[in-house]
Structure 1
Amino acid sequence: MNDQRAELEWRDGGVPVSTRFDDPYFSIDDGLAETRHVFLAGNDLPARFTDGFHIAELGFGTGLNLLTAWQAFLDSRTSGKLHFTSFEAFPMTQADAKTALRAFPTLADLAEPLLEAWRGTSFILDTDTLRAEIVIGDARDTVRAMRHDADAWFLDGFSPAKNPELWGDELMQEVGWKTAPGGSFATYTAAGHVRRALEGAGFTVERVPGFGRKRHMSVGRLA
């Protein structure tokens, strides 16, 4: 059982910031728009959704990316289920997650079952349209045990300069190994060493316009 918890302070009217990594969990400007730009559009979603489409994520945080992807899946009227696996080393408490997600009232109906399932330990949320598995622990140890390859990756750890463990060559290699043929990734960072690590893992990597104050981000497909 993981006994490490997220250490938070709240800034700018309710944005949670990790004091361990001195980095916000979502954009101060518009966290929902950021997720849609970086992780959905960056992976060409919802256009690629199919029954059983599998998204994997490094850095679960508040659950905002999961909820945004689930809403996009529902809005696309794709039949079947979206599958989502997320890896998190320092989980928020349920109370902190609930406070953070109040910033996104349009996602409130989907947030309710997520928060009900939230335990601060690994858990599964299984509904008619979503199967989500949240794996608590160090991703360098847990990603390799993922049972099904991902069609798309949301690489959403804290800044590589502040959280280098989540962006190292070995973990990016694991990401490549756990990606389905033709699978993709998207991330807000355009750091050169991250892009090189992903290229080394087999992805064709492209730097594209970022969201808000970030000039660039990175996307790619498995070569």
Structure 2
Amino acid sequence: MTGQAELEWRESVPVSTRFDDPYYSLENGLAETRHVFLAGNELPERFADGFHVAELGFGTGLNLLACLQAWRAAGVPGVLQYTTFEAFPMAAADMIRAQAGFPEVAGIAGELAAHWQRGARAFDLHDLRFEMVAGDARETLPRWQGRADAWFLDGFSPAKNPELWEEGVMAQVGAHTAPDGTAATYTAAGFVRRGLEAAGFNVTRLPGYGRKRHMTQARMGSA
């Protein structure tokens, strides 16, 4: 099942009506992204030319903005590769509205807005190669030819969107991870952790962001 995102706004935070789950932390979505996905994957320390981030759940695009901002702040030469898998892409106007809530990344948001407005699924900047793979990740991820150095596992809550966290999807994440690659997610659900372990990752539980006690960090074991 795929299609366009269905959402409502609770003040400045978009909430999926399909999954009854906010797109990011009600406390501070950008701070959550930096804590979970950047620090959880040991970024920007691991960045290098051609570094490939892959993501399950593009949502508002906030993770992309935070990642590209960190890449530029670190002064890494070359190109960041960013591939995201999204079953229900958000309308450009909603994405831009959501991103406007984070003035710290306003410059990058403005730079990318024209691409969202024209419905782009892939584009290149001088320091970014972006691709959105639209559709159910259970179908699209097995066909993907790439391998990620870092995964942002950012689907809606496993309790509300279990299909994106099932063992078969985690196995595909593992199969599409580079040696010594990592994954991070805000959830510490037991079945997600077990799925990552079965996929070949060494899994660690870390302090979560805000009211979430724990999050998950995973590192691909030696081949």
Q: TM-score range with shorter-chain normalisation?
A: over 0.9
Superposed displacement of residue 112, structure 1:
2.2
- Looking at structure 2, the residues matched to 45 and 3 of structure 1 have their Cα atoms a distance apart, in angstroms, of 31
Matched, 1:71 2:51: no
**Structure-to-structure mapping, 1:33-182, within 5 angstroms:** 33-118=31-116, 123-182=121-180
- Looking at structure 2, the residues matched to 207 and 72 of structure 1 have their Cα atoms a distance apart, in angstroms, of 24
* 97-106 vs 193-202, which moves further: 97-106
Say whether the 8 Å CA contact 2:92–2:119 is kept in structure 1. Answer: no
Superposed displacement of residue 120, structure 1:
8.5
Given the two structures, how large is their TM-score scaled by the length of structure 1?
Answer: 0.96
- Looking at structure 2, the residues matched to 60 and 122 of structure 1 have their Cα atoms a distance apart, in angstroms, of 14
- Looking at structure 1, the residues matched to 197 and 119 of structure 2 have their Cα atoms a distance apart, in angstroms, of 33
**Overall identity of the aligned pairs, in %:** 60
Superposed displacement of residue 122, structure 1:
6.3
Say whether the 8 Å CA contact 2:83–2:130 is kept in structure 1. Answer: yes
Say whether the 8 Å CA contact 2:36–2:186 is kept in structure 1. Answer: yes
What residue identity is the alignment partner of 1:21?
F
Match of 2:29 among 24, 28, 31: 31
What residue identity is the alignment partner of 1:220?
A
What residue identity is the alignment partner of 2:98?
A
Given the two structures, how large is their TM-score scaled by the length of structure 2?
Answer: 0.96
Matched, 1:14 2:12: yes
What residue identity is the alignment partner of 2:56?
L
Superposed displacement of residue 3, structure 1:
6.6
Describe the SS at the equivalent of 1:69.
helix
Matched, 1:4 2:3: yes
* 19-28 vs 119-128, which moves further: 119-128
Q: Which structure 2 segments of 5+ residues have no match?
A: none
Distance 1:194 1:220, change over 3 A: same
**Count of aligned positions:** 221
| Structure 1 vs Structure 2 CA RMSD | 1.4
